[in-house]
Structure 1
Amino acid sequence: MPPPPNPELRRQVIAIYKEILNLGKDYPQGGLSYVRPRLHRAFMANAHLRDDEDIRKGIARAEFVKKEIEAL
């Protein structure tokens, strides 16, 4: 069984997930019903990551997506 992820990184992942989900309420292509399944799929595709550096890269990608959504 792989070691649990770093608790601080886990907190950051959950926080960015919630932030993007919250931004999805105002998404022009259907709001939460459009954003939620895609966001969930994207995060679950990276749920296997255990290396701190890989998790940080995923967080950086999520931050980029968040900024793109905010720009809409």
Structure 2
Amino acid sequence: MANLNPELRRQVIAIYKELLHVGREYPLGFDYFRPRLHKAFMSRADERNEAKIISYIGQAEYVKKGMDYIFWASISIANVLPSSTEIEAL
């Protein structure tokens, strides 16, 4: 990422770290998620066009919001559904 606007570089690293953090709760596991995230970011590592980089950051933010939604929706559903012991008691 040489010759890249330092602010954009900081944003790219920050969103990568945020996605890594959110990926810990990924349904298929962190070991499945991390290599795919790394591959996705590395596929664009040579990009120097600032407009495209800003667009990619926006796409990453969108993915992060979707992952947050999936995580919180799964928690909400788990809290609403009866447990297996409650079902057996019926």
* Normalised TM-score (structure 1): 0.91
Q: Which runs of 4+ in 1 moved over 3 A?
A: none
Residue 29 of structure 1 is matched in structure 2 by 28
Identical pairs, percent: 54
What does residue 54 of structure 1 align with? 52
Letter in 2 for 1:6: N
Consecutive unaligned residues of structure 2, counting only runs of 5 or more, are 71-90
Instruction: Give the Cα–Cα distance (whole angstroms) in 2 for the partners of residues 68 and 35 of structure 1.
Output: 14
Paired residues for 1:6-45 under 5 Å: 6-30=5-29, 32-45=30-43
Q: Which has the larger radius of gyration?
A: 2
Counterpart among 63, 66, 83 of residue 65 in structure 1: 63
Give the RMSD, CA atoms, in angstroms: 0.9
Q: What's the offset of the Cα at 1:28?
A: 1.0
Number of corresponding residues: 69
Structure 1 CA distance for aligned equivalents of residues 52 and 4 of structure 2: 11
Structure showing greater relative contact order (alpha-carbon pairs closer than 8 Å, 6 or more residues apart): 1
Give the unaligned 5+ runs of structure 1.
none
